Structure 1
Amino acid sequence: MADVRFFLGAFLSLFLVGVVVALPGAALPHWREAFAVGKEVSWFFTSLLLGLLLGIRLAQGERRHPLFPLALFLLALALTGVALAPSFPWVVAMAFLMGLAEGVMNVHGNSLVGDLYPERRVELLNRVNVGFGLGAVFTPLALTLMPYRALLLLSALMALLAGLLVYGAPPVRSLARGEARGLLPFLLAVGLYTGLEGALATWNRVWLERLGHATATGGLLLSLYWLFLALGRLFLARPVAERPLAALRGLLLGVLLLLLLNLFPPTALLFPLAGFFLGPLFSTLFALVQARFGHRALGGLLYAGAAGSTLIPALFALLPLPGIPLGLLALALGLFLLLRGLGDG
């Protein structure tokens, strides 16, 4: 029964990670209206990133309790602070606490499930990460249905509940195992994956507008992209678990086909389907690294993911508009070739 409670707590914690990731884009109109911010929004992202890096570092130890529940309680405090913020610098300060909590939650929300169910690690890590996708879809949708402060306070209550669910979580089973030199290709793969995921979410909307599609259409397709990421983790979890790396390469062939179709105006509308094929990549790579190299390697994995999701979309800003779909293709091809070198494990 305790395992079910911890699984539900991990699911809810990853749902809240999705809320945190989606919050800046969804809340930006409110921040502009309430605080008259422009370029100052970059302060929020800097503060969030600094907290995230520290949170990942703190989560590399053996003990989950009390760190994991405390991170969720800290997130509840930070979300309440953002809801009641009298000025934008206050929001920026709360962003550091949100990032700190997010780092711990991302490491332990995933690794706890892998430790609870080592024989079904790949499958159940994909299923628990459906929570992240639902949180990312929920946030902008909820802001169309309820007031800004109500969403933040509701999310804070969810964080308190998740903290209670993971209270007393067991310690990490294995801090380190295997040869560390085999870890580098996995780190590169995660960096490329998060870069591709982020570049698609950020820049393909710009490419669609270049092709003549309406801005509103791009927004709808972006929401579908995040939804398909969650659905891919849900429905592909079991097939991928049988031969993980071979399955991921097969899924990337589907991504490459869709990115080729992305070059042309009519078929570019199919791009959200790429999310379905990309869905299982992160969770599966996380599961393989945890099984082969132990808990301490997961910090490096998430650092690589943070670097990829930050730097690669930023580099796309230097590309001419026709280079956007070609850059996406190059990322997917590079990831496919990298996974091809890892064998069929």
Structure 2
Amino acid sequence: MFVFGITLAALGALFGLPETRGRLHVDLAQQGDIFLTLYAGVFFSTIIVGPIIDSFGNKTVLTTSAALVVAGLLCFLVAGSFVSALSSAFLLGFGGGGLNTAANALVADLYPQQRGAMLNLLGVFYGCGAVLIVVASKYLLPVGIALAAICTIAYLLLPFPRATEPVGFSLFASIRAARYPMVMVFAALLFCESGNESAIGSWTSTYTGSNAILAVYWAGLMVGRVLGARLLTYIRKERLIFASGVGSAIGTVMLVASKSLAGAAIVGLSFAAIYPTTLAIAADRYQRLAGTIFGLLFAVGLLGAMSFPWIIGQTSEQFGLRAGMMLPLIGAVVIIVLVFVISRQKGER
């Protein structure tokens, strides 16, 4: 997850540097296209790896995915055009998607009694990777390449649990999983949350002109996941997501209105618990095929991660970046509504 944080934060940090857009000769709309391609890679990877995890285990997915991240970063290092940047972004996203799905499914399987807390703590490492890569943006690509290479070697050497459902690979298993009750409600919530996180992570440095504000957002996300793990010992998962959705809306308004560090911090803190806690609720309900269900949820969520930055890019080119940055506010409101639906399904608000 540390390397996955690097994967998703890298392009947002790089495009905060004017020389990156100059080297690639791209405008705001094309920048949005590159973000779309990054998350398209994550999306297609996620569809494929869920059933692979259930059939063959996590080791193969983690090792191959880390190697693909190395390849994607190397390609972006030498990219000199819009087309080459698109290819690099897809490769980077494809590797990152495998890391994300496998890491979350593995932790959910290893800690069945503490899924909410452990998935939130896992997300801390995602935030750590993102913060590191934003702070060290001058050395971003060499650092990312080295860390991903180390992970590739480590995954080859470490032992892993056996596959939980060794019944053979089916590419359409994740699609069939959509028939489970309430799965698509969880997926819709993750669609909005993934979209919000990718939008803020991709466009904040461009909107504010400051990588420091982007770093504060990622730091807030990291700290918020530590707090989320602690809070789950006192409150129910659904209530934590509801409160986080309200905080997300407030923080987004502050960030867009004033380009402030405080707004970025509130957004990060509020976003933090939504994604892993939603996964924890889903894992509690659908335990037999955790990898496949997670694959479906990630895939639908990643449609949001693909579309939100792209929509912001297209909107911003026509109406200005402030108008585009209102999209995460809409996403936060929808999250509040969806978690209310999930809570009512369990007889609580």
The answer on 1:169 being equivalent to 2:160 is yes
- 1:273 is matched with 266
Query: Once the 2 structures are TM-superposed, how far is the Cα of residue 137 of structure 1 from its aligned partner?
Result: 1.8
Pairs within 5 Å for 1:138-177: 138-144=132-138, 146=139, 151-167=140-156, 168-173=159-164
| CA distance, structure 1, for counterparts of residue 249 and residue 26 of structure 2 | 39
What amino acid is aligned across from residue 131 of structure 1 in structure 2? F
Matched, 1:105 2:99: yes
Aligned to 1:24: 11
Deviation at 1:21, TM superposition (A): 1.3
Q: Please give the TM-score of this superposition, normalised by the length of structure 1.
A: 0.77
Equivalent-residue separation in structure 2 for 1:325 and 1:137 (angstroms) = 21
| 1:185 Cα deviation from its structure 2 partner | 0.9
Q: Distance in 1 between matches of 2:144 and 2:323?
A: 39
CA contact (8 A) 1:112 1:172 kept: no
**Shift in Å at residue 271 of structure 1?**
4.5
Matched, 1:82 2:73: no
Number of the residue aligned with 2:276: 283
Match of 2:231 in 1: 239
In the TM superposition, what whole-angstrom CA distance separates every residue of 1:274-293 from its partner, at most 9, and x where no partner exists?
32122011011122223322
SS in 1 for 2:9: helix
User: Deviation of residue 192 (structure 1)?
Assistant: 1.6
Question: Could you tell me how far apart the structure 1 residues matched to 2:113 and 2:39 are?
Answer: 34
In structure 1, the residue matched to 2:186 is 186
SS at match of 2:213: helix
5+ residue gaps, structure 2, are 167-172
For 2:169, the equivalent position in structure 1 comes to none
Q: Deviations over 1:25-59 (max 9, x none)?
A: 33344444545455665664454344323311221
Question: Is 1:58 equivalent to 2:48 in the alignment?
Answer: yes
SS in structure 1 at match of 2:50: coil
8 Å Cα contact 2:221/2:271 also seen in 1: yes
Alignment of 1:183-332 (within 5 A): 183-201=183-201, 215-216=208-209, 219-240=211-232, 242-258=235-251, 269-293=262-286, 294-316=290-312, 318=315, 328-332=328-332
Contact 1:197 1:309 in 2 (8 A): yes
DSSP-derived class of the 1:236 partner: helix
User: Alpha-carbon deviations, 1:282-332, whole Å to 9, x = none?
Assistant: 011122223322321112211222111232344455496786687554432
Is the CA contact 1:15–1:132 (under 8 Å) kept in the aligned structure 2?
yes
Q: 2:7 touches 2:69 (CA, 8 Å); kept in 1? A: no
Q: Per the alignment, do residues 244 and 172 of structure 1 end up closer, same or farther by CA in structure 2, a change over 3 Å counting? A: farther
Distance, in Å, in 2 between the alignment partners of 1:260 and 1:143 is 27
| C-alpha deviation, 1:103, in angstroms | 1.3
Structure 1 position 135, deviation (Å): 1.7
> What is the alpha-carbon distance in structure 2 between the residues aligned to residue 81 and residue 263 of structure 1?
33
Any stretches of 5+ residues in structure 1 without a counterpart? 1-13, 210-214
- 1:92 and 1:262 mapped to 2: Cα distance? 29
Match of 1:4 in 2: none
Partner SS state of residue 60, structure 1: helix
| Distance in structure 1 (CA, Å) of the matches to 2:76 and 2:256 | 41
CA distance in structure 1 between the aligned counterparts of 2:221 and 2:264, rounded to whole angstroms: 12
Task: Quote the Cα distance in structure 1 between the aligned partners of 2:251 and 2:14.
Answer: 31
How far does residue 225 in structure 1 lie from its aligned partner after superposition? 1.6
Counterpart of 1:119?
113
Cα RMSD of the aligned pairs, angstroms, is 3.5
Amino acid at match of 1:16: V
| TM-score of the pair, normalised by structure 2 | 0.77
Matched residue type, 2:5 = G
Give yes or no for contact 1:19–1:136 (8 Å, CA) kept in 2. Answer: yes
Going from structure 1 to structure 2, the CA distance change for 1:325 and 1:187 (only over 3 Å counts) comes to: same
Match of residue 336 from structure 2: 336
CA distance, structure 2, for counterparts of residue 80 and residue 264 of structure 1:
37
Secondary structure in structure 1 of the residue aligned to 2:332: helix
Change (3 A) 1:134 1:184: same
Deviations 1:81-113 (A, max 9, x none): 433557665444333322221111110011111
Shift of 1:333: 2.6
Tell me: CA distance 1:264–1:143, structure 2 relative to 1, closer, same or farther (3 Å): closer
Q: Percent identity?
A: 22
The C-alpha deviation readout for 1:199-227, integer Å capped at 9, x for no partner, is: 44566788xx8xxxxx45x6533321221
Over 3 Å counting, the alpha-carbon distance change for 1:245 and 1:92 in structure 2 is same
- Alignment length (residue pairs): 319
| 1:241-293: CA deviation from partner (whole Å, max 9, x where unpaired) | 55111222133333344456668659895352132122011011122223322
Within 1, Cα distance between the matches of 2:291 and 2:30? 37
